[in-house]
Amino acid sequence: MTTVLDVQRFKDEHRRFAMVTAYDYLSARILDEAGIPILLVGDSLGMVMLGYPTTLQVTLDEMIHHSKAVARGSRQALLVGDLPFMSYQASIEQAITSAGRFLQEGGMHAVKLEGGGPHAVEITRRLTELGIPVMSHLGLTPQSIHQMGGFKVQGKSQAQAARILADAKELEEAGAFSLVLEGVPSELGTRVTQALHIPTIGIGAGAGTDGQVLVYHDLLGLTTGKAPKFVKRYANLAEDIGNAVQRFARDVASGEFPGPENSYSANGAAPAKSPAAPASIEERQEVKYGAG
Ligand code: KIV
């Protein structure tokens, strides 16, 4: 199984690595079997899976619900649960309780939290002391969307870049085992990566970070609308699914589906094209929905 020590080794051995979001059992299983070393149950699931307008609406209970499903689907990957908005900001005690739930109930191995500054640094220190590994997240931090005035690239000015670099060093010093850098100029992504001992994982942070993360649905083209610039689509599943279900509906309308090969008979012989007899109890018990 991938551990936080392996993730540090990736950096030490200059091995670039991928992290992908997972929100459910099946995606976790596919990603795990494909050898993706880190799965992030990101709060982006609020927008991608639940249709919320931002990540701010996602609750800790929703995150735990999805984490449990991901944990059931994964055997090899390091699992990171994303602390949602207002599950760690109120106090250190709240952060400890929320992070503890991710490990105890959700089956995660580590948590991620957004932002720098004294509160985030203190949470990182305390969680690390308690044996809960922390992945930090700087740059474009979607939980602060209203303060940033939208999904805007961060760290463009010298002062902002210096702030991000200083925050990154403080979080590392507090014990973070890795750092997500989102939506920053490539030069800053490289600069922060070179300044830290812990690995950085970029999303819209250029090619100079130690790892890269993408949202599962984005990289598979399982979305509607235009993808952001930092996304590379490796498949076009939304279109494929649309075409597949249209073909299914056409086959139903024309009587092409179900054919004899999709039908049961009372005596085990493939029935003729006419509608199938009701399945026997034995046959019904064999029926399985979805992957086993
Ligand atoms: O919630 C999420 O998916 C994330 C990644 C984009 C890093 O935080």
Residue 280 has pLDDT above 80, yes or no: no
- pLDDT of the residue at 277: 45
215 C-alpha to center of ligand 1: Å?
Answer: 7
Please identify which of the residues 114, 170, 172, 182 carries the catalytic annotation.
182
Over range 49-68, report the average pLDDT.
97
Burial category of 136 from C-beta neighbours within 10 Å (exposed 0-12, middle 13-18, buried 19 and up) = buried
What is the best residue among 56, 66, 213, 219 to mutate for testing ligand 1's pocket, by most ligand atoms within 8 Å of CB?
Answer: 213
Question: What is the spatial distance between Cα 13 and Cα 81, in angstroms, rounded to a whole number?
Answer: 26
pLDDT tens for each residue of 95-141: 999 999 999 999 999 999 999 999 999 999 999 999 999 999 999 99
- Ligand 1 atom 8, closest CA: 42
Q: Give the number of the atom of ligand 1 that is nearest the alpha carbon of residue 55.
A: 1
Burial category of 35 from C-beta neighbours within 10 Å (exposed 0-12, middle 13-18, buried 19 and up) = exposed
| Averaged pLDDT score across all residues of the chain | 94
Q: What homologous superfamily is domain 4-219 in, according to CATH?
A: Phosphoenolpyruvate-binding domains (3.20.20.60)
203 C-alpha to center of ligand 1: Å?
Answer: 8
Q: For residue 151, which of 59, 57, 62, 44 has the smallest C-alpha distance?
A: 44
Question: What is the spatial distance between Cα 59 and Cα 183, in angstroms, rounded to a whole number?
Answer: 24
- Residue for token pair 């086993």: 292
What does the domain layout of the chain look like in residue ranges? 4-219, 239-286
Q: Give the number of the atom of ligand 1 that is nearest the alpha carbon of residue 214.
A: 6
Q: For residue 58, which of 41, 76, 72, 43 has the smallest C-alpha distance?
A: 43
- pLDDT of the residue at 212: 98
DSSP type of residue 154: -
- Ligand 1 atom 2, closest CA: 42
- Return the structure tokens found at 223: 């979305």
- pTM confidence score: 0.92
DSSP string for residues in 37-49? SEEEE-TTHHHHT
241 C-alpha to center of ligand 1: Å?
Answer: 25
DSSP string for residues in 132-148? --EEEEEES-GGGHHHH
- Return the structure tokens found at 210: 């130690």
182 in active site: yes
What is the best residue among 20, 24, 38, 40 to mutate for testing ligand 1's pocket, by most ligand atoms within 8 Å of CB?
Answer: 40
Residue 284 has pLDDT above 70, yes or no: no
Q: For residue 216, which of 233, 241, 240, 239 has the smallest C-alpha distance?
A: 233
Query: What percent of the residues of the chain are helix, what percent strand, and what percent coil, each to the nearest 5?
Result: 45, 15, 45
- Ligand 1 atom 5, closest CA: 42
42 C-alpha to center of ligand 1: Å?
Answer: 5
- pLDDT of the residue at 8: 98
- Ligand 1 atom 1, closest CA: 42
Q: Give the number of the atom of ligand 1 that is nearest the alpha carbon of residue 201.
A: 7
Instruction: Note whether 170 and 128 are within 8 A (CB).
Output: no
Question: What is the spatial distance between Cα 272 and Cα 291, in angstroms, rounded to a whole number?
Answer: 28
pLDDT tens for each residue of 161-216: 999 999 999 999 999 999 999 999 999 999 999 999 999 999 999 999 999 999 99
